[in-house]
Structure 1
Amino acid sequence: MKIAVLFSGGKDSVFAAFVCQSMGWEVVLLTVEPAENSTMFHHPNVKWCRKQAEEMGMEFVSVKVKGKTEDDELEAMKKELASLKVDGVAAGAIESEYQKERVDRIAHELGIRSFAPIWRTGETLLDEQVKYLETYLVAVAAEGLGEGMLTRKFDADFVKYLKGLKPSVSPHLEGGEGETFVSGAPFFSHALKVRKWKRRFDGAAGVAEIERLD
């Protein structure tokens, strides 16, 4: 079975791709490059997704969205999925019905299957991501996540910090509170090294862009 995994380079899509590969499926990573502030697709550092795919030993394709609306993004994804001739599409949704329903709808329209391999895996998933993935926080947009949090490691201490905030922030960061980038994992042929960052913060939200990655 050939599966396209929607791939942003963050902890959830990386783990979803790993699970799909572990099922014995042929995996192609599909990165949708949206306009900024997308509610559907992660955008910081997607230019490095191809490098991650190389380290994961997986086929990679990307599509740039010309429009700025969610409909434009979904239509671009749909066209690319159709051209790939896959049997199914998988997303790294964990608790977000918003994301899952949209992927399910596109799959239904194309007559292919829809998978959410890490759906509702909760604390078990977090434990495994912290243990096995080397992950950086590359975007923040929530109270308690200031400029100083950009580029910090997504580790057990950070998960504990998020849970301790008032109000608490879901450590899955699935509601847009933050975005991540995975630089290493046991299933990477080599760990990637971030050599240079560029940080931008406007007082309420910020992004850390990777300028050099080896």
Structure 2
Amino acid sequence: MSDENAGAWISLFSGGKDSSWALYQALERGYPVDRLVTVHPDDDSYMYHVPATDLATLAAESVGIPLVDVRPDDLGAATADDSGPQGDAELEPLEAALVELDEELDGGIAGVTAGAVESEYQTSRIEAMCDRLDVDLFAPLWQRDPETLAEEMLDAGFEITVVQVAAYGLDESWLGRTLDREALDDLRDLNEEYGVHVLGEGGEFETLVTDGPHMDRPIELEYEREWDGSRGTLKISDARLG
């Protein structure tokens, strides 16, 4: 689909810390990222970051790279209890969007960035998709030490807000909390006590990057906390660029 040294790069982008770090690392290495692609699942998803994906539009505006949305109606039917077919069905509209971009962009697509850390399920499907499309995959977080990654994000100046929690040990106070070094220390403790992943890789928590060195303006949020006693989400009433 693309020549190895020609074409644009596409960043799979949710606005969360992992995909934002993959994008940032690609930009730091000089990859010509021409589009961000955000998939907006309806509800729980095996493949994609779910909460607050609509805020990716604001994040993309701050980053200064055009965003392509893939909406729930495009995701295809799949049964929630069959992760294999669901993951494959969820990939179909993404792959179709990439095919369209390959035809649209000068030189086609050279590569795709992804923020997977430890999910073999997610990464194997993205790798297979990139193989079918004959494009490179850049996954700079893959199998890296999560604590080191978290430290690197903070050192780079990422401002990270927790927008959803769903794990024992993470209470309502984590909703809206900034993932700073104090929070990272607390996550280390929770990892030892309850097995909470330091980066939330198992879906224990989800995040939004509200500012960073790759962004021109910070995202400012107004919200309320929705908490059911064991898990919760930020209900965002207003979001804007500062």
TM-score, normalising length: structure 1: 0.93
Where does residue 72 of structure 1 map in the other structure?
89
Question: Which of 207, 211, 214 in structure 1 is aligned with 2:233?
Answer: 207
Q: Which amino acid aligns with 1:82?
A: V
The question of whether the paired residues in 2 share the 8 Å contact of 1:44 and 1:209 is answered with no
Equivalents in 2 of 1:114, 1:155: separation in Å? 29
Where does residue 145 of structure 1 map in the other structure?
170
Secondary structure of the residue aligned to 1:12 is: helix
Equivalents in 2 of 1:197, 1:68: separation in Å? 32
C-alpha displacement of 1:169: 1.2
Deviating runs (4+, > 4 A) in structure 1? none
Equivalents in 2 of 1:45, 1:121: separation in Å? 25
Question: Which of 207, 228, 241 in structure 2 is aligned with 1:180?
Answer: 207
Equivalents in 1 of 2:210, 2:237: separation in Å? 14
Percent sequence identity over aligned pairs: 37
The question of whether the paired residues in 2 share the 8 Å contact of 1:198 and 1:209 is answered with yes
C-alpha displacement of 1:68: 5.3
Which string of whole-angstrom CA distances, capped at 9 and with x for unpartnered residues, describes residues 48-82 of structure 1? 11111111121211111324532332111111111
C-alpha displacement of 1:162: 1.6
Q: Which amino acid aligns with 1:198?
A: E
Where does residue 135 of structure 2 map in the other structure?
112
Where does residue 26 of structure 1 map in the other structure?
32
Secondary structure of the residue aligned to 2:194 is: coil
Which consecutive residues of structure 1, in runs of 5 or more, have no partner in the other structure?
Answer: none
Q: Which amino acid aligns with 1:47?
A: D
The question of whether the paired residues in 1 share the 8 Å contact of 2:169 and 2:194 is answered with no
C-alpha displacement of 1:88: 1.7
Which consecutive residues of structure 2, in runs of 5 or more, have no partner in the other structure?
Answer: 1-6, 79-85, 103-108
The question of whether the paired residues in 1 share the 8 Å contact of 2:62 and 2:216 is answered with yes
Deviates further, 170-179 or 127-136:
127-136
> Structure 1 residue 3 and structure 2 residue 9: aligned?
yes
> Structure 1 residue 133 and structure 2 residue 158: aligned?
yes
Over 3 Å counting, the alpha-carbon distance change for 1:68 and 1:35 in structure 2 is: farther
Equivalents in 2 of 1:25, 1:210: separation in Å? 33
Where does residue 124 of structure 1 map in the other structure?
148
> Structure 1 residue 160 and structure 2 residue 185: aligned?
yes
Secondary structure of the residue aligned to 2:214 is: coil
Equivalents in 2 of 1:107, 1:97: separation in Å? 15
The question of whether the paired residues in 2 share the 8 Å contact of 1:2 and 1:26 is answered with yes
Equivalents in 2 of 1:141, 1:210: separation in Å? 18
The question of whether the paired residues in 2 share the 8 Å contact of 1:87 and 1:112 is answered with yes
Deviates further, 204-213 or 11-20:
204-213
Where does residue 43 of structure 1 map in the other structure?
50
Question: Which of 102, 112, 123 in structure 2 is aligned with 1:100?
Answer: 123
Matched residues, number: 213
Equivalents in 1 of 2:176, 2:148: separation in Å? 24
The question of whether the paired residues in 2 share the 8 Å contact of 1:65 and 1:73 is answered with no
Aligned-pair RMSD on alpha carbons?
1.5
Deviates further, 79-88 or 201-210:
201-210
Question: Which of 224, 232, 240 in structure 2 is aligned with 1:198?
Answer: 224
Equivalents in 1 of 2:225, 2:96: separation in Å? 34
Equivalents in 2 of 1:114, 1:47: separation in Å? 25
C-alpha displacement of 1:7: 0.6
Q: Which amino acid aligns with 1:95?
A: E
The question of whether the paired residues in 1 share the 8 Å contact of 2:158 and 2:212 is answered with yes
